[in-house]
Amino acid sequence: MADYFTITRELTAPRSLVFDALSKPEHFAVWFGTAAVEVPQDSLTMDVRVGGAFRAVMLLPDGNRIDWAGEYVAVDPPSHLAMTLTDNPDQYAGLPVLFDLEEIDGGTRLTIRQDRADFSDEQVAATIAGYNAFVDEIENELARMQNA
């Protein structure tokens, strides 16, 4: 049975805009890398439909790279997105990461859930910190999107 850990944040943007930030390459490339890591737009494959492929490359400041891959397993705009996600594309990606978007007064509640799988407590803590950094960047991207 899956043992999910959860990150929940409230964003001051409409749910449809948050869904766009999660699902459109021009926005995804900005937040997925955070300010410290480059995700080249031309490295992204985002076929956002059930069964569609996801691929991205992260270019790290130390010169290393991470190749990400996954598949969209649920797409219900603007309320839900689920995708497998792995940095080891040749192996099983595990259970999907779940993104739920709920309308709230003044914006959207974003909840991200991921199966703990065989992660240690330290790995879970690092993953949660990573997701929070992603959401910080999503907030910045949403501000740019709203001011465009």
DSSP string, 12-36: SS-HHHHHHHHH-HHHHHHHHSTTT
Which pLDDT does position 129 carry in this prediction?
A: 93
Which pLDDT does position 118 carry in this prediction?
A: 84
Q: How many CB atoms lie within 10 A of CB 92?
A: 8
Collect the ranges in the chain with pLDDT lower than 70. Answer: 1
Q: Phi/psi zone of residue 136: left (φ > 0), alpha (ψ -120 to 50 degrees), beta?
A: alpha
For residue 56, CA distances in Å to 5, 10, 28, 66, 128 come to 23, 26, 10, 8, 20
Tokens in use for 65?
A: 């790279």
CA-based max dimension of the chain: 44
Which pLDDT does position 148 carry in this prediction?
A: 79
Q: Please state the CATH superfamily assignment of the domain spanning residues 4-147 in this structure.
A: START domain (3.30.530.20)
Rounded distance between C-alpha atoms, residue 7 and residue 9, angstroms: 7
Tokens in use for 142?
A: 């949403």
Domain ranges of the chain: 4-147
Which of 101, 104, 55 has the alpha carbon at shortest distance from 76?
Answer: 101
Which pLDDT does position 36 carry in this prediction?
A: 84
Which pLDDT does position 99 carry in this prediction?
A: 98
